[in-house]
Structure 1
């Protein structure tokens, strides 16, 4: 299981303050400088954590005054929850649940299911195949009427295929989101991640960057496809791609030492890349943290591109150029599909969402003179 990031630990600690009454509704949380000192993390890590809590409704900001605990708190999403209604029961399994883009996807699913009187049973795998097995067994035991699932480690062979075949034998429809298992080729709603990776690299190439570092998670097909698009951009623009500038990692590699190792690529001014394309926004902010430790600026020294256009893309003063993920739209479409399938209506076909690059201030034209002086 992946080790939790610093900002998620800070976020959870502040949530504990809220839940146990240390910070009461209407009270101000400690200022940013105090939080930096208390947690021993960077300023942008605090901003990520607080920014997410603001976005999720736990905190609110008052201009020129500070950040406060909300008077009306949202319901937290526990490990496994069930919404009670008079409708049929739809299971939802995601790789993660409480952070990054997943709350938006879940809200899209839940809001539409609730509007149609359906029950929602929700669980997550933490991108672990054994956890996925447990989730599938639980869903089958609960006699769900349909299942929406995000595959676990989709680029590897999945030992849980038999559970999906059991769903088919029981005529229980299921839909996969974000990716799908190639052994099954089920109905799916996904992004064209290959094109997304291409757009990210092409953007930097068009800005004059040639030495571009690509960081890709490869135990999920999303990362494999994003890397493929990254490589294709270099080929189509006739640029050489140095093999050492493509770095891959897996869920288990996401530990502090991995994030620290990223700084290695930027220590030598003569060899450092001028741009970076990241698997997602979360990784991009970790790269940003490493660059700050080396006293390098984005985009003046290094241009940085994320992926998913999550709330993290605008969580710091450096606003990330990022590839847009449909998030809530995808969640709603998944709910519409599964309801149609459960009610024996004609379900919409599988759909591949076209990526869109959202350009912000983390990327800039390559300055050859500044690069030489650096």
Structure 2
């Protein structure tokens, strides 16, 4: 169509079609009143009515007498992108930004449109709203799935719309999942620390209360403790001294740095530290504050995946659950589920990687004293 000869109604139709195509008016949703749409675009009511009528004729919209105008549920993919909803925790974990970047790339390559929300609990109504207005939903575990409202669990169980849980099992809601299940690869960094002579190792962690007891928010990291107890019982692996009870929506970094100063005497003798990648800068800063060098005095193992990690100093030795792999495997699983809506739930293993950077060194005998 010649852009120079487009009427105001043509422009309004193009604008409205684009809003539908990119998911601002989701399939099955009620279209706002035509008077309101006209006000948004700055055209007359009659101009917008013509535009809506044109999209009704094209099969994108449907008028229902007495109810309003709706975006049709069955719109060919050539005319509108499928929407992938992604639910992330509403607190400042830096890996959440990387997760969005990886999902954005995966969605673009698979002709999906990504919609992201950040929530603090499953009770947040935006989780249900997103599920209603997307073609598939990805849930990052922000709480135990058992804490999810019963009506939401039942909606997820009963629907054939793909729902995939990341970073944890989806057994509680009977859906698919993509996450890391602790395996023998997790022994690699433990073996390396042992080879380097480290016998007193400290965990820096964040915990919350569950049933009155402190529980780590980094459940995958419990695998290190299990490995040391089973394979290297002579290693002291202290999980309590630097475990901080901090609400999920608050940053523990100031507490970590302050604790190195306040617990200097108690920390003496530990030659290695294990921490989440998101705590790595706080840990190395805290060590510098008390005159300890990484890795000459204390080795540090970071757990997690961060795009920026190669630019941290020293470059961390890391055991990483690869977020990019998780995003791409999730999209593959979603596309498979669309073709196999009644197949039994499946769990897919996320790839991991152990990379020895510059934060490992042999245990320093002086530090052991």
How would you bin the TM-score normalised by the shorter chain? 0.5 to 0.7
Q: 1:306 to 1:240 in 2, by over 3 A?
A: closer
Could you say which residue in structure 2 is the equivalent of 1:303?
299
Which residue of structure 1 aligns with residue 100 of structure 2?
Answer: 106
After superposition, the CA RMSD in angstroms is 3.3
Pair 1:189–1:242, CA change in 2 (3 A): closer
CA distance in 2, matches of 1:228, 1:172: 33
Tell me, in whole angstroms, the C-alpha distance in 1 between the residues paired with 2:324 and 2:147. 27
| Distance in 1 between residues matched to 2:108 and 2:164, nearest whole Å | 18
Higher relative CO (Cα under 8 Å, sequence separation at least 6) belongs to 1
Map 1:256-335 to 2 at 5 A. Answer: 256-264=253-261, 267-268=264-265, 271-278=268-275, 280-335=276-331
CA, structure 1 residues 251+98, in 2 after alignment: closer, same or farther (shift >3 Å)?
Answer: closer
Cα distance change, pair 355–195 in 1 and its aligned pair in 2 (3 A) = farther
* Alignment length (residue pairs): 286
**Is 1:183 aligned to residue 172 of structure 2?**
yes
Distance 1:199 1:182 in 2: 29
Structure 2: distance between partners of 1:309 and 1:113: 20
The DSSP-based 3-state class of the residue aligned with 2:137 is strand
TM superposition score normalised by structure 1: 0.65
Structure 2 unaligned segments of length 5 or more: list them.
1-21, 26-78, 209-214
- Which residues in structure 2 correspond to 1:228-247 (within 5 Å)? 228-241=223-236, 243=238, 247=242
- 3-state SS of paired residue (1:289): helix
Once superposed, which parts of structure 1, at least 4 consecutive aligned residues long, lie more than 6 Å away? 345-348
Q: Provide the rounded CA distance (Å) in 2 between the counterparts of 1:199 and 1:158.
A: 34
1:363 maps onto 2:360 in alignment = yes
Tell me how far 1:243 sits from its aligned partner: 4.9
Pick closer, same or farther for the CA change 1:309–1:242 going to 2, 3 Å: closer
Note the C-alpha offset of 1:196: 6.4
Tell whether the 8 Å contact from 2:170 to 2:176 is kept in structure 1 after alignment.
no
Does 2:132 align with 1:135? no
Q: Which runs of 5+ in 1 are unaligned?
A: 1-80
The residue aligned with 1:149 is 139
Following superposition, the deviation at residue 353 of structure 1 comes to 2.9
The answer to whether the Cα contact below 8 Å between 2:23 and 2:83 also exists between their aligned partners in 1 is no
Report if aligned partners of 1:83, 1:120 keep a CA contact under 8 Å in 2.
no
Distance in 2 between residues matched to 1:251 and 1:342, nearest whole Å? 40
Per the normalisation by structure 2, the TM-score is: 0.66
